[in-house]
Structure 1
């Protein structure tokens, strides 16, 4: 049978032209305007009413278009497929004004009643497929699986991993987790990527890439994506997650650079989470109170202490002041504790406003205290596991709390509470903590009913969790566009990937590894398991290890905190580390000397003059973390402004030639460094350390 194939051109930006196909298993054709090469994105395949159905569309119409706040054009197209147009596919396309990365997703509906099925007892959706050049032993093409969600035990954090894929992997029909496959280097080939926006931890994946011998990589559902017998109809939809595709002329550098720019400028509707603010969090001082000073975790969370810390924070250049756990009376209602803050947070907010600083607060999204009105309203939305409701648990020395299911109507109640707090208290930064990907297998919430197995409800909860977290933030940001939500991923088993980055950022590292990570036993009487809890360079080694993410995702989206403690060499290591993008300072400001406060203020004040350029610049690293020499360059290619930070673990003299050229000749540097320019605009940095330390060289500011 001959198909009646017809292209409907949808959009063209400076990077690519896009068409949608009728009558073809190729749904989208993406043409790189610079190379003229066209790439096919194959149509999704759903199992409906017991049969695999490819979305080969007819009667395609444009049903909507709008310009989003981030300069992205959104298009909705609707077409029919199946016998007599039984099913409808609503295709949502987001095309940035000046970037090659396309975002797309689907909404599935039906003209009558239909159900999604699992004939083989497992998820059966192929969302999209793209052909990649297969690397052979003597070929130039490079294909890689790119992972962002692999928890690496030595640093107790999620780290970037790239795994090469060659003809053997494709020929074997393997599947890999992703969430991205990227390629570059083939003769006459574009560099390209295909990715999905979800989060899962290796090796526990909810979506996978299935590889085929001809180079095809298909994003397929692995588990939990939908429920057996899930109905679809005229007004009953199945919404997919977002997917991404891009093709560029050039190689690895061109592709990663374009993708970083997409994440920074075009992925999120609102820009606040992308701003290179300096964040201060009170928690490290609370830990020191507990473990060093024999006090409670919450002893220092008082109006008097917070006002004193704000003064110091202002002097060192903090933009967002975050009060960690303890500011509230009880979880759930999230009301200010009147014993700790007799005048509420009004004096705190007024002092912050006077300095142009923002207020941030800690939240446990899964918790509602026994006495809370939130719990009373949501008695039907408590978490259960294997038919049992967990016992109430204490939340950081506050009232016992129940665990709430976030894939239930409770999610909207929680969102409404945060919107109220934004309006009533003026809080704009929300730190979300202690949300594990698995947690509920109860029926009647929003992830399955009594007709589904406990395992299916469990997996669907885990799949839906990140989607619900994202939806909560979207609802918040519609009401409060300046809201920043930071999702704590400091432990394993959390929702980590590309999904949440469309609305927020990640809180990457708390204190790093525990003794247990290194099989070091500790006395049962000791309640502080942290190895890198004390001041000194070692903590920064652990934190800087995770800067590999910056290759694809700007490091500003992985908040990590460094100690502000004296002496000068410690402070310079911390300041040089954080300004590469982690941008966090970790507690105990009142222990910092006056001289140390001024020193940090000078360095960070200089950083803030060119922090936007530093954020925009892709990272180049030379040397090993904790070695000598360990160097980072973050230079904006358009302006030549940025920073080079050099770390040494041993004293001595060393020389470094920059990888970047055409650097601006306005230079500010710390005393350990001497800078000279070469003919091509690169620099030679000579450093001399009398002890382990860091040297900082800014380009674009005066000495």
Structure 2
């Protein structure tokens, strides 16, 4: 059996002779020799389904270093009819999860993808879970209206699901075998459950085939004459161990190897102006943009710096009009120059808000891009006001406008020094224009709309990757605070998510909202809002919580500040509110607690979570200790006065800092035994391991 390449976990087998019949290539464990076969993809081309099971893949290119420790290799093979299949794999030196994708092209210039049944006919891969005693579907895109947030969901896949040929959406499918191994397959795309664009077709005998559902291509899409079809990125892993061990590896893969844009993985502390803009409107009777003034922003920077904020984000209203994205000099006299200088002097980064789909009706960017306006069934969308600024058209990113918008972001990096970009208001649906890149006049409105919804996330990643290639310090956050957005593994290959705004609205709980009042419920200081915000921390089992930015309130009193900071340091890392109203003692307290966090935040980010209890219960405890060095934190919450005992799963450092009411001893295995005394309801305790003081 020919071996093409390997890391410390596996060898990649590419000669079609894996242990699984019909596999095109596979993974063989170095430790046990166990093999996972990956069956060949198939495509419907010119009315005929073509599978590539019989071809031989030869190494064509690589290694190309994508990022430190991650190498790309390309393999290629042709069939007798002149169809070329390329397999691109990315392998990390120190992780068992690999990424791969395919490209298909034809020597026949007229070859095109087809759908004789009227539905997508594309199989990405298939693997066998026949030996698995337990199979789990891991969903990332269930939208829970109780929280008004996307949440992690794990569902057991029983034998009956295979027998009845069910189609779990995933994107992750995990299996544990009785001989001590675990298998994972996944795909990088996104959509809200249950609206699947890609799904697993289960078959009797434990077979799982990943197939296109809709929109993955359009009828007549060319693959000849120098053109090709490129699939989404896919993932596979085989380890010696159980599901929990595999989850640890997978989490590390997402943190270190999945994206070349490493800055998005760093645990910076963020501040965003939006919460005060909303407060100013609903509590003070002003407009959303009334506070968007240079004087206030400079004053907020002073307070943010004292708190320890590192990325200062100016939300909507900093610009004159959408599309052109020029600083509003009526609000910022020198076009944000003074703001940037102030941030530089404080060692802070500048972040700005964007609606990537919006272009003002008089904007220069719209001139020459009119053909990229989103249209539905032949009618262009009506312009709408964007947050008290000029009316704007919605633009299609699956068109030439993708490059136009990317050019604007790169210009802002160079002219203003922006390195953080908050993207808002990107719904997944809405364009069926035949002149864009998601179909032609020959396709129906429905097919073009499906292709748009499938392709928009890939276009977003293209923009982020191009931006980061020019500015490696750039970070792009995609706002998924509302439903029906592109949520899954796809965008995480390029950027990160902005998870929760203020949680549920009154209407989510069937509560009438008084007219002209704030429609969110959880906008006040205290313990309740953090319950909502902490609930999605269950993502941290598979996806590091640092990739789900969520903002906590800095408001007095002290008890609320401690609960909010204790929640923040678990990885969501955001603050917003009325900074200028926080007391000096409150600013000092937050600054001290975050100073301690910064000493161990890399370890907290690295650490696999141990969670006891749930938000709103007592106790609710999070253990985030880096097993490599014992550094990290224990954070505990309680809504009842009393004393709780907690024994750590790992052996933390003997050096530690803790708040009052916590005593620590160590057992004979090095585990910490914590006595946590709560004297008030709705309070929190923080213990940092690996430091002996905050400053």
What is the SS of the residue equivalent to 1:232?
A: coil
Taking structure 1 as reference, are residues 189 and 28 closer, same or farther at Cα in structure 2, changes over 3 Å only? farther
Q: Among residues 18, 24, 42, which one is paired with 1:45 in the alignment?
A: 42
Residue 669 (structure 2) pairs with residue 680 (structure 1): yes
Work out the CA distance in 2 between the residues paired with 1:306 and 1:40. 57
Counterpart of 1:559 in structure 2 is 549
- Superposition deviation, residue 77 in structure 1: 1.3
Residue 183 (structure 2) pairs with residue 192 (structure 1): yes
Counterpart of 1:510 in structure 2 is 501
Which whole-Å deviations, capped at 9, do the CAs of 1:326-368 have from their partners, x for residues lacking one?
1101100000000010011111111111121111000000000
Counterpart of 1:67 in structure 2 is 65
Is this contact kept in 2: 1:133–1:143, CA < 8 A?
no
Which whole-Å deviations, capped at 9, do the CAs of 1:71-94 have from their partners, x for residues lacking one?
21101111102xx33211011011
Work out the CA distance in 1 between the residues paired with 2:131 and 2:77. 33
Residue 96 (structure 2) pairs with residue 130 (structure 1): no
1:631-642 superposed matches below 5 A:
631-642=621-632
Which whole-Å deviations, capped at 9, do the CAs of 1:202-243 have from their partners, x for residues lacking one?
100000101111111111000000011212114110010000
Which whole-Å deviations, capped at 9, do the CAs of 1:616-668 have from their partners, x for residues lacking one?
001111112111111011111111111000101122222222222x2110110
Work out the CA distance in 1 between the residues paired with 2:572 and 2:73. 35
Is this contact kept in 2: 1:142–1:183, CA < 8 A?
yes
Residue 346 (structure 2) pairs with residue 355 (structure 1): yes
Counterpart of 1:295 in structure 2 is 286
What is the SS of the residue equivalent to 1:477?
A: helix
Counterpart of 1:144 in structure 2 is 136
Q: Among residues 603, 610, 615, which one is paired with 2:593 in the alignment?
A: 603
What is the SS of the residue equivalent to 1:686?
A: strand
- Superposition deviation, residue 533 in structure 1: 1.2
Counterpart of 2:97 in structure 1 is 101
What is the SS of the residue equivalent to 2:374?
A: coil
- Superposition deviation, residue 681 in structure 1: 1.3
Which whole-Å deviations, capped at 9, do the CAs of 1:250-286 have from their partners, x for residues lacking one?
1122100000110100011121000010011111010
Which whole-Å deviations, capped at 9, do the CAs of 1:385-406 have from their partners, x for residues lacking one?
2322221111111111111011
Is this contact kept in 1: 2:396–2:431, CA < 8 A?
yes
Is this contact kept in 2: 1:330–1:369, CA < 8 A?
yes
Q: Among residues 9, 24, 29, which one is paired with 1:15 in the alignment?
A: 9
Work out the CA distance in 2 between the residues paired with 1:309 and 1:504. 27
Counterpart of 1:138 in structure 2 is none
Residue 577 (structure 2) pairs with residue 587 (structure 1): yes
Residue 529 (structure 2) pairs with residue 535 (structure 1): no
Is this contact kept in 2: 1:134–1:143, CA < 8 A?
no
Which whole-Å deviations, capped at 9, do the CAs of 1:284-336 have from their partners, x for residues lacking one?
01011001111111111111111111111111111111000011011000000
Counterpart of 1:79 in structure 2 is 77
Residue 210 (structure 2) pairs with residue 213 (structure 1): no
Which whole-Å deviations, capped at 9, do the CAs of 1:190-212 have from their partners, x for residues lacking one?
11100000001110000010111
Structure 1 residues not aligned, in runs of 5+: 1-6, 136-140
What is the SS of the residue equivalent to 1:463?
A: helix
Which whole-Å deviations, capped at 9, do the CAs of 1:651-691 have from their partners, x for residues lacking one?
2222222222x211011011132222222111222222222
Q: Among residues 309, 317, 339, which one is paired with 1:318 in the alignment?
A: 309
Work out the CA distance in 1 between the residues paired with 2:379 and 2:472. 39
TM-score (norm 1): 0.96
Q: Among residues 288, 294, 297, which one is paired with 1:306 in the alignment?
A: 297
Is this contact kept in 2: 1:641–1:663, CA < 8 A?
yes
Taking structure 1 as reference, are residues 189 and 215 closer, same or farther at Cα in structure 2, changes over 3 Å only? farther
Is this contact kept in 1: 2:14–2:58, CA < 8 A?
no
What is the SS of the residue equivalent to 1:225?
A: coil
- Superposition deviation, residue 60 in structure 1: 3.7
Counterpart of 1:546 in structure 2 is 536
Is this contact kept in 1: 2:261–2:465, CA < 8 A?
no
Work out the CA distance in 1 between the residues paired with 2:269 and 2:685. 20
Is this contact kept in 2: 1:70–1:271, CA < 8 A?
no
Counterpart of 2:373 in structure 1 is 382
Work out the CA distance in 1 between the residues paired with 2:74 and 2:85. 10
What is the SS of the residue equivalent to 1:126?
A: strand
RMSD: 1.3
Counterpart of 1:222 in structure 2 is 213
Q: Among residues 362, 374, 384, which one is paired with 1:371 in the alignment?
A: 362
Which whole-Å deviations, capped at 9, do the CAs of 1:414-440 have from their partners, x for residues lacking one?
000000001110000000000000021
